[in-house]
Amino acid sequence: MNKWGHHPAVYALEPVNEPWWASDHEVLKGFYRSCREVVRSINPNVLFVFHDSFLPWADQWNDLFPDDDMENVVIDTHQYMAWWAKKDYIGAYCDDYGKNMRQWGIADLKYPVWVGEWSLATDVCAMWLGGFNDSNTDYVMPCKKVECPYSYMPEPYNVDFDRNAASLGPYGESARSTIENGMCLTDSEYFSNADVKVLGDCISYILNDTVEG
């Protein structure tokens, strides 16, 4: 804040990304309160944003700041469907997304809500999604394989890997998200682009209705 707090490009500051749900939340709340004081002591016009620690419930966070002291405070929630159980049709994701938003009580939060991270992905097929050479989670859809990309770096930095190797390590918790015979995983083809658009439109409607309405 001392260096950049008055820069015209600085609109908001979030002091930590995705503190885990098992964090000591009293300690986390104390950290958030201290960080907010730093932000507004230097530039009170900068928004203070805090992540919900994957617990986006009103009774978890409405006591973070008093009702008469909430100016320029925003709560950030991250929403991903890729780790949900498999659903056979796109409408089921939409239905569950809306149900989860209502059950979580996001509409009851007294702060403005930002969905700071999100994705329309419905599978974990993306390469190394759970870490290097690791999917972390079982695949719920058959994943498509494509030829791994080549380096865009110029010589001598464009070193390639062994594209004939049956499997390349080292491995993470699992060996599921690995390069095999020069092939990399990419998204499942279970849902079409039209399905994904339906999901995007549906979620946009849900968020506007839940968060703003």
Separation in Å, CA 76 to CA 7, 111, 123, 124: 22, 10, 23, 23
Chain-wide mean pLDDT for the chain? 91
Nearest to 159 by CA among 150, 146, 168: 150
Domain ranges in the chain? 12-122+191-212, 124-189
SS3 194: helix
* Residue 211 pLDDT > 60: no
3-class SS letters over 117-184:
EECCCCCCCCCCCCCCCCCCCCCCCCEEEEECCCCCCCCCCCCCCCCCCCCCCCCCCCCCCCCECCEE
Q: What pLDDT is attached to residue 136?
A: 78
pLDDT tier at 37, thresholds 50, 70, 90: very high
Rg of the chain on CA atoms, in Å:
21
pLDDT tens digit sequence for 132-150: 888 878 888 899 999 999 9
**Can you give the pLDDT at residue 213?**
43
Note the pTM of the prediction, 2 decimals. 0.81
Higher pLDDT: 57 or 175? It is 57
List of residues 6+ apart from 57 with CB closer than 8 A: 104, 105
If DSSP codes are grouped into helix, strand and coil, which group holds residue 16?
A: coil
Determine the pLDDT at residue 173.
74
pLDDT at 122 over 50: yes
Q: Is a pLDDT exceeding 90 seen at residue 67?
A: yes
Give the pLDDT of residue 210: 59
10-24, 43-57, 101-115, 157-171: least confident range: 101-115
More confident: 85 or 19:
19
Statement: residue 82 has pLDDT above 70: yes
What pLDDT, on the 0 to 100 scale, is given for residue 137?
Answer: 84
> Where is average pLDDT lowest: 152-161, 170-179, 198-207?
170-179
